[in-house]
């Protein structure tokens, strides 16, 4: 009986060896077919809506990049616009001041028979507006006009020099 058992076990062993060989062959075939099916499965996955493929992700990334660049550019433009608006306000203020100064000068010049001397500071050059008629005896040359002692009576020239010095020193104290 013991021998019969051995004989009976041998076919099982051979059957086990054959089944293992068949199993490994089946696994090899399955792996080969799966590897052949992976590209097809990837293509099928790209076609299915609602799934993210690499092309979809690249498109989303490109769109996000464009939106980011657009936002950064928009913020830069808004900041530059604010800077330009403040510069424009300063320029408008300076222009308004200059126009008002011109308007004052024009109103002073409008009256004939008047000569106006303007100093912007203690050391600045004098600016002359208007002319006096020749019958007053005032010189037409600007430098000669400032030499009051040459064409005015001495007392009037002295009073005028004192008044000018007071005005110029008063302006300097205010500044």
Strand partners of residue 128: 117
Do the bridges between strand 116-118 and strand 127-129 make them parallel or antiparallel, or are there none, so unpaired? antiparallel
How far is 132 from 139, CA to CA, in rounded Å? Answer: 8
At 13-57, the pLDDT tens digits run 545 555 556 655 665 555 555 445 455 545 554 545 566 788 888
Give the model's pLDDT for residue 8.
Answer: 45
DSSP codes, 30-72: HHHHHHHHHHHHHHHHHHSTTS--HHHHHHHHHHHHHHHHHHH
- Two structure tokens written together for 143: 């430098």
State the average pLDDT over residues 124-152. 85
How far is 129 from 106, CA to CA, in rounded Å? Answer: 9
**Quick one: DSSP state of residue 126?**
P
| H or E segment to which residue 128 belongs | strand 127-129
Give the whole-number percent of the chain exceeding pLDDT 90.
26
| Residue closest to 153 by CA, chosen among 175, 174, 136 | 136
How far is 60 from 43, CA to CA, in rounded Å? Answer: 19
User: 79: pLDDT confidence band, cut at 50, 70 and 90?
Assistant: very high
- Confirm whether pTM is higher than 0.85: no
State the average pLDDT over residues 134-160. 88
User: 137: pLDDT confidence band, cut at 50, 70 and 90?
Assistant: confident
pLDDT > 70? residue 121: no
How far is 152 from 136, CA to CA, in rounded Å? Answer: 10
């Amino acid at each position: 009986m013991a021998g019969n058992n051995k004989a009976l076990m041998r076919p099982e062993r051979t059957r086990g060896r054959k089944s293992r060989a068949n199993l490994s062959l089946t696994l090899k075939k399955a792996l080969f077919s799966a590897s052949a099916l992976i590209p097809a499965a990837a293509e099928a996955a790209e076609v299915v809506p609602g799934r993210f493929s690499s092309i979809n992700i690249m498109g989303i990334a490109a769109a996000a990049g464009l939106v980011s660049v657009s936002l950064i550019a928009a913020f830069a433009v808004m900041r530059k616009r604010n800077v330009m608006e403040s510069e424009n306000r300063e320029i408008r203020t300076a222009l308004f001041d200059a126009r008002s100064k011109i308007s004052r000068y024009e109103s002073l010049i409008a009256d004939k028979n008047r000569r106006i001397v303007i100093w912007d500071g203690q050391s600045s050059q004098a600016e002359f507006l208007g002319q006096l008629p020749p019958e007053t005896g005032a010189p037409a040359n600007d430098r000669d006009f400032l030499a009051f002692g040459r064409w005015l009576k001495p007392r009037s020239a002295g009073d005028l020099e004192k008044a000018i010095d007071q005005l110029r020193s008063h302006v300097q104290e205010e500044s």
